[in-house]
Amino acid sequence: MAAHTIIFSTNRIDDCAIDRQAHLKEALGRPLSLPDLLHDAIREADRIDDVADNLISLFTLLRDDYTQPADWQIFSFSSANEDNDLTGDISAYVFYTGGDVFWSRDCFAVIDADVYRINDCLGDTGLVDWTLGYWLRPLDGSAPCKELERLNNRVCRGYSDWPYGELENALYHPPVWSAERGCYVARPHNVPFVCRVDVYGPSYS
């Protein structure tokens, strides 16, 4: 987990966000250094298909098994189609060979006009983990109750596509920032005490 990818707000907890550029860097590292002509062609292309052959030729040379023929596939996705906490949407084209795109090793992602090599699996990078998660604990030091444990399971990343919605529905009122405590506080339904609400971001490989 990289805390610096979170843009924190003390105004409203749902104003907290995941910094898009920091997220890309943590998940994928630095983009490949491309020939200027290819970089310009990606930027100016109307469709990824217009530059796919040139990209596949490059990817084939870069892969360790470049002497073996490969059946390249292209998978596209965008955070704009899902609930997310990013400061700006991410649209990607992933070039991969065989199997499930999220678990195919040594693939390449084209985002904006940049190309990233993913040596491990896309599913392990954290790239598509673009929602914040939450963790509640008793403000007065009381022992957590079973209802709070169940709530924490619901508002973590991975349980729901929209953890904040789960959090909001479980509280009497939205979390309020306490300058004295240095945290957000809220009272969940069916929990006999006020809780501290912490925000956390994606995990990266």
Give the C-alpha separation, 185 to 139, whole Å: 8
Residue 154 in tokens: 């619901």
Dist. CA 155–CA 95, nearest whole Å: 33
The pTM assigned to this predicted structure is: 0.90
- Residue 22: the pLDDT is 96
Q: How confident is the model at residue 26 (pLDDT cuts 50, 70, 90)?
A: very high
pLDDT at 1 over 60: no
The SS3 of residue 129 is coil
Q: What is the DSSP string of 27-90?
A: HH-SPP---HHHHHHHHH-SSTHHHHHHHHHHHHHHSTTTTS---EEEEEEEGGGS---BSS--
Q: Which pLDDT value is given to residue 98?
A: 80
pLDDT tens-digit profile of 79-113?
999 999 999 999 999 999 988 999 998 999 999 99
Would you kindly state where each structural domain of the chain is located, as residue ranges? 30-125, 133-200
Query: What percentage of residues in the chain have a pLDDT greater than 90?
Result: 80
Mean pLDDT over the full length of the chain: 92
Rounded CA gap, 57 and 190, in Å? 59
pLDDT score recorded for residue 4: 85
Cα–Cα dist 59/66, whole Å = 8
**DSSP state at residue 160:** B
pLDDT digit string, tens, across residues 169-197: 999 999 999 999 999 999 999 999 999 99
Q: How large is the average pLDDT for residues 14-41?
A: 95
List 100's β-bridge partners, or say none: none
Quick one: pLDDT band at residue 68, thresholds 50, 70, 90? low
Confidence of residue 141 (pLDDT cuts 50, 70, 90): confident
